[in-house]
Amino acid sequence: MAGADEIARAELDALRVRGLLRSLEPLRTPPGAEIELRPGERLINFSSNDYLGLAGEARIAQALAEGARAWGAGAGASRLVCGDFLPEHDLELELAEFSSSEAALLFPSGYAANCGIVPAFAGPADLILSDALNHASIIDGCRLSRARVEVYPHADVGAVEQGLRAPARRRIVVTDAVFSMDGDRAPLRELFALCSAAGALLIVDEAHATGVIGPRGEGLAAEVGVAADVRMATLSKAFGVAGAYVASTRAVCDLLVNRARPLIFSTALPPALACAAQASLRILAGPEGDERRARLWSNVRRFAAGLKALGLPARVDSAIFPVLTGTPEGALTMAAHLRELGILAKPIRPPTVPQGTSRIRFALSAAHTGAHIEAALSALRAC
Ligand SMILES: Cc1ncc(COP(=O)(O)O)c(C=O)c1O
């Protein structure tokens, strides 16, 4: 039998041949709109989900440092064992207030949250309707639940209506609010109306909407006035920190404490990170957050207009803009060309996106200046 190293080499070769090999490349500078990858290679960064430019914010780093001094570096155990600290509870209270929900519950990451939420509500007797472009963490949560999963065509409300007619103990619709690789918005109002009529649950992943959309950056559900049963949001994107939370009722959060395996069987978020996220929340939900959102949306409008002028499709839905190349090789070539021109915009290939839809994904930030946006557009023109 082949050893692990031999298997790994063969698998990697197969990925390389298909243009799907991925590798890691360390950043040499703190997060921001301008970064350095290779020594001396300055790049304008369009590949982070740091939508409000908070990942490198000194006040948040300061809160992290003070939190670490007061509470130590690590949580030491899962929250249910001995890793549950006061800063986490304080943050949950503030997140619940921010989300206008009865309660909030922290998770170590958005990936962990989705892998915990879906199986907490769905089992083999249940039906989950999941959008075809949902994030991998939702897909994995659905798989872990062992429920019957019907993947409906992207944003197809008619298919959801049809799907909800099937009998099951519980029926659940789960969707990204803003789709991570396409940047479009889920039809939340229509999905909510269908779920309410059918007595089904609606679970919404607000990872790319929190901080960006809605009053005080509360997310898409708040923007469109939809009371989803469970909302998941990350602290890793617009918040610029790490971790995630669920906003819902007290009972839902209590159920997750009892059933969400990634919360039960994984070490808690370090308390210092909760201190950092609290500092971030106070910026994000306040007047400075509004100013940063205004700068972000002005960048979004400017970039969308520039893309349209280049004959490329663009909508003003979120901070995410895909530029489709179709093949993985096309995406790799375009990303390399952009990088030569000083623009970091990473190629996105299967399995992150469906076959035939490889792309360059541009993620805009409030930290980008007008000059950064123009540089990206002129690099795209040159491509
Ligand atoms: C829609 C969506 N949900 C969940 C996640 C996972 O969040 P995290 O990076 O905090 O694990 C991501 C991004 O990584 C995402 O794009």
Residue 48 appears among annotated catalytic residues: no
The structure tokens listed for 318 are 């979120």
Compute the average pLDDT of residues 271-297: 98
pLDDT tens-digit series, residues 169-214: 999 999 999 999 999 999 999 999 999 999 999 999 999 999 999 9
CA-nearest residue, atom 10 of ligand 1: 110
pLDDT tens-digit series, residues 324-383: 999 999 999 999 999 999 999 999 999 999 999 999 999 999 999 999 999 999 999 998
Distance CA 330, CA 312 (A): 16
Distance CA 266, CA 53 (A): 29
Q: Contact at 8 Å (CB) between 133 and 176?
A: yes
> How do beta strands 103-107 and 230-234 pair?
unpaired
Q: Contact at 8 Å (CB) between 64 and 290?
A: no
Q: CA quadruple 202, 208, 210, 216: dihedral positive or negative?
A: negative
Pocket test for ligand 1, best of 106, 115, 133, 137 (most atoms within 8 A of CB): 137
Residue 372 appears among annotated catalytic residues: no
What is the band of 294 on the pLDDT scale with cuts at 50, 70, 90?
very high
Q: CA quadruple 376, 378, 382, 383: dihedral positive or negative?
A: positive
Q: Which of 39, 37, 48 is nearest to 319 (CA)?
A: 48
Q: Which CATH number fits domain 21-50+287-382: 3.40.800.20, 3.30.70.141, 3.90.1150.10, 1.10.1740.10?
A: 3.90.1150.10
What is the band of 258 on the pLDDT scale with cuts at 50, 70, 90?
very high
Q: Ligand 1 centre from 309 Cα, in Å?
A: 31
Give the other-Cβ count within 10 Å of 282's Cβ. Answer: 16
- Percent of the residues in the chain that have a pLDDT greater than 70, as a whole number: 100
Specify whether domain 58-284 bears CATH 3.40.50.2000.
Answer: no
- Percent of the residues in the chain that have a pLDDT greater than 90, as a whole number: 99
- Which listed residue (135, 208, 346, 372) is catalytic? 208
Q: Which amino acid is at 57?
A: E
What is the band of 271 on the pLDDT scale with cuts at 50, 70, 90?
very high
Q: Which residue has the tokens 């995630």?
A: 244
Residue partners of 305: CB distance under 8 A and separation at least 6: 314
Full DSSP string of 73-127: S---S-TTTT---HHHHHHHHHHHHHTTSSEEEEES-HHHHHHHHHHHH--TT-E
Q: Which of the 8 DSSP states describes residue 185?
A: B
What is the band of 2 on the pLDDT scale with cuts at 50, 70, 90?
confident
Residue 8's φ and ψ, nearest 5 degrees, are -60, -45
The four Cα atoms 268, 270, 275, 279 give a dihedral, to 10 degrees, of: -90
Q: What does each C-alpha distance from 247 to 113, 205, 233 come to in angstroms?
A: 11, 11, 8
Residue 308 appears among annotated catalytic residues: no
CA 104 from chain centre, in angstroms, equals 18
Compute the average pLDDT of residues 40-63: 97
Q: Contact at 8 Å (CB) between 320 and 361?
A: yes
Q: What angle do CA 148, 154, 158 make, to 5 degrees?
A: 80
Topology match between the domains 21-50+287-382 and 58-284: no
Full DSSP string of 302-332: HHHHHHHHTT----SSSSEEEEEEESHHHHH
Provide the mean pLDDT of the chain.
Answer: 97
Q: Please state the atom number of ligand 1 nearest to the C-alpha of residue 242.
A: 10
Q: Contact at 8 Å (CB) between 377 and 48?
A: no
The four Cα atoms 118, 240, 380, 342 give a dihedral, to 10 degrees, of: -140
Q: Ligand 1 centre from 207 Cα, in Å?
A: 6
Domain ranges of the chain: 21-50+287-382, 58-284
How far the first Cα of the chain sits from its last, in Å, is 47
Q: Which residue has the tokens 């619940």?
A: 96
Per-residue pLDDT, 1: 79
Q: Contact at 8 Å (CB) between 277 and 239?
A: yes
Compute the average pLDDT of residues 4-27: 95
- Which listed residue (135, 237, 346, 372) is catalytic? 237
Per-residue pLDDT, 27: 95
CA-nearest residue, atom 4 of ligand 1: 110
